[in-house]
Structure 1
Amino acid sequence: MRTEACINERVVAEALSWRGTPYRHQGRQRSVGCDCLGLIVGVWQGLYGKAPAMVPDTYSLDWAETGADGLLLQAARAHFRACPSSPEIGVPAPGNLMLLRWHENAPATHCAIALPQNRMIHAYERHGVVVSALNRHWRNRIAGVFAFPAHI
């Protein structure tokens, strides 16, 4: 259990180091620009030294509307450990990856990392990498919760 707490602390610290990075579609560079997936890839690289194999070189702004339903969830299941995510459990543990839907019954197309105190960090178009409240609005959009691996 201590290993999991340690990796979660490292995930939170690495993610917070990206705060203020401008939004850039397909970007993956801290302080230069990233999108929500680029933030997750950047945190992964900060932890493990290399990008996960799941990341495509390019993807369109409307990739989820072009038959990509489930791609983000499939990739998360392949590279992260699934965690329970029912409303009864409450807020995901700090350091957990959350996949979110923009609309009920839509595919998961947004990524964020849970932070302490019911907050999350994510890259948001027109805002960049920001810390937001993990309020009911966002919790209702959670499609999956995943833990970063202790090591790869």
Structure 2
Amino acid sequence: MPATDLSSQIVEEVKSWVGTPYRHQASVKGAGCDCLGLVRGVWRSLYKNEPALLPVYSPDWAERSQSELLKNAAEQFLYPVSKPQIASVLLFRMDAASPVKHCGILINQHEFVHAYWNRSVACSAYGRWWKSRLAGAYNFPEIE
């Protein structure tokens, strides 16, 4: 599938999750998901199966552990890019001393979709605040 078709498919899929309630470690469109569950759901829409079972993880954004579960998973299953592109998975670090604890998918140059703790999946401005916390951008593998 050409990259532009894949990007369009990713954007349409992630937008279809908007309004899904926040549920830690869930990944069911319309029923509940967290930020990683949102990315997992988009992955399943593209590839049908998830690449691996994930261990239990903490929802605490202020966690100070050295564990980089989210970043390690992105590096294992996605492709790093130097500059975010439409349909890129964005990883965020809430401060310099914290591990990567949040992610979303860029839908255009100024907006991304992510799951808000205690709220729902939403479209947010990808502005200065989020850009200052960006820890990496990754693209989904091409569909053969």
TM-score (norm 1): 0.86
Q: Which residue of 2 aligns with 1:15?
A: 14
Alpha-carbon distance in 2 for matches of 1:21, 1:62: 20
Q: Is the 8 A contact 2:13 2:45 kept in 1?
A: yes
User: Which among 81, 105, 127 is matched to residue 135 of structure 1?
Assistant: 127
* 1:88 corresponding residue in structure 2: none
Q: Which amino acid aligns with 1:13?
A: E
Report the 3-state secondary structure (helix = DSSP H, G, I; strand = E; otherwise coil) of the residue aligned with 2:22.
coil
8 Å contact 1:120–1:134 — kept in the other structure?
A: yes
Provide the residue aligned with 1:38 in structure 2: 37
Preserved CA contact (<8 Å) 1:101 1:142: yes
Identity level (%): 40
What's the CA shift for 1:65? 2.9
Count residues in correspondence: 144
Residue number in structure 1 paired with 2:68: 70
- Secondary structure of the corresponding residue to residue 18 of structure 1: coil
> How far, CA to CA, are the matches of 2:104 and 2:61 in structure 1?
18
Aligned to 2:137: 145
Residue ranges of structure 2 left out of the alignment (5+ in a row): none
Give 5+ residue unaligned stretches, structure 1.
Answer: 86-91
Where has structure 1 moved over 2 Å in runs of 4 or more?
58-69
Secondary structure of 1:9's counterpart equals helix
TM superposition shift of 1:68: 4.9
Structure 2 vs 1, CA of residues 63 and 134 (structure 1 numbering), >3 Å: closer, same or farther? closer
Of 96-105 and 107-116, the range deviating more from structure 2: 96-105
Aligned partners of 1:132 and 1:60: how far apart in 2? 23
The one-letter code matched in structure 2 to 1:78 is Q
Partner of 1:89: none
CA–CA distance in 2 between the matches of 1:34 and 1:122? 10
Rounded Cα–Cα distance in structure 1 between residues aligned with 2:66 and 2:22? 22
Q: RMSD in angstroms over aligned alpha carbons? A: 2.0
Moved more, 69-78 or 94-103: 69-78
